[in-house]
Amino acid sequence: MENLIEKKLLKANQTFQEWKKVPFEEKQKLIAKAAEIFKNKAEIFGKLITEEMNKPISQAISEVEKSALMMNYYADAENILSPEKIESEFKISEIQYVPKGVILGVMPWNFPFWQVLRFATPAILAGNTVVLKHASICFGSGSAIEKVFIEAGFPIGVFQNLEIGHGEVKEILEHATIKGVSLTGSEKAGAEVASIAGKNIKKSLLELGGSDAFIVLDDADLDEAARVGALARLQNCGQTCVAAKRFVIQKNIEFDFLPKFIEEYKKYVPADPKLKDTKLAGMARPDLADDLEKQYQKALEYGAEAIIPLERISKNEFNPGLIRVEEGNPILQEELFGPLGMLMIAENDDDVLEIANNIPFGLSNSVWTKSKERQNFFIDGLQSGTVNINRMTSSDPRFPFGGTKTSGYGTELSLHALKEFVNIKTVIGI
Contact (CB, 8 A) for 45 and 38: yes
pLDDT at 2: 76
Contact 118, 2 (CB under 8 A): no
Q: For residue 197, list its beta bridge partners.
A: none
pLDDT tens track for 261-300: 999 999 999 999 999 999 999 999 999 999 999 999 999 9
**What sign for the dihedral angle of Cα 115, 117, 122, 127?**
positive
- C-alpha dist (Å) from residue 104 to 81, 109, 111, 416, 420: 21, 16, 18, 19, 13
Output the CATH code of domain 1-208+407-429: 3.40.605.10
Closest among 155, 106, 150 to 132, alpha carbons compared: 106
Cα distance between residue 355 and residue 145, in whole Å: 41
Q: 10 Å Cβ neighbour count for 423?
A: 12
C-alpha angle 139-143-149 in degrees, rounded to nearest 5: 150
Mean pLDDT per 10-residue segment, the chain (430 residues): 90 98 98 98 98 98 98 98 96 97 98 98 98 98 98 98 94 97 96 97 97 97 98 98 97 98 98 97 97 98 98 97 97 97 98 98 98 98 98 96 97 98 97
The Cα angle at residue 398 between residues 359 and 237, in degrees rounded to 5: 50
Element (H, E) at 173: helix 169-174
Name the phi and psi angles at 182, rounded to 5.
-120, 125
The residues that bridge with 346 in the sheet, in sequence order, are 250
Q: Determine the number of helices (DSSP H) and then strands (DSSP E) in the chain.
A: 13, 20
List, for residues 204-245, the tens digit of each pLDDT value: 999 999 999 999 999 999 999 999 999 999 999 999 999 999
Integer angstrom CA distances of residue 342 from 233, 348, 408: 10, 18, 23
Contact present, 396 and 246 (Cβ < 8 Å): no
Domain boundaries, the chain: 1-208+407-429, 213-389
The predicted-structure confidence for 56-79, as pLDDT tens digits, reads as follows 999 999 999 999 999 999 999 999
Q: What pLDDT is recorded for position 1? A: 66
pLDDT at 14: 98
The whole-model pTM stands at 0.97
Can you give the pLDDT at residue 3?
A: 87
> Strands 340-346, 321-324: parallel, antiparallel or unpaired by DSSP?
parallel
d(CA 119, CA 182): 7
Q: Alpha carbon of 91 to those of 83, 121, 227: distances in Å?
A: 15, 35, 61
Of 11, 300, 309, 307, the C-alpha closest to 131 is: 11
**Can you identify the CATH homologous superfamily of domain 213-389?**
Aldehyde Dehydrogenase; Chain A, domain 2 (3.40.309.10)
From 251, 205, 425, select the one nearest 355 (Cα to Cα).
251
Q: Report the C-alpha gap between 360 and 333 in whole angstroms.
A: 6
Nearest to 323 by CA among 293, 296, 301, 302: 296
Q: How far apart are CA 65 and CA 71, in angstroms?
A: 10
Give catalytic residues, as residue numbers: 207, 241
pLDDT score for 255 = 96
For residue 46, the model assigns a pLDDT of 98
Cβ pair 342, 238 in contact under 8 A: no
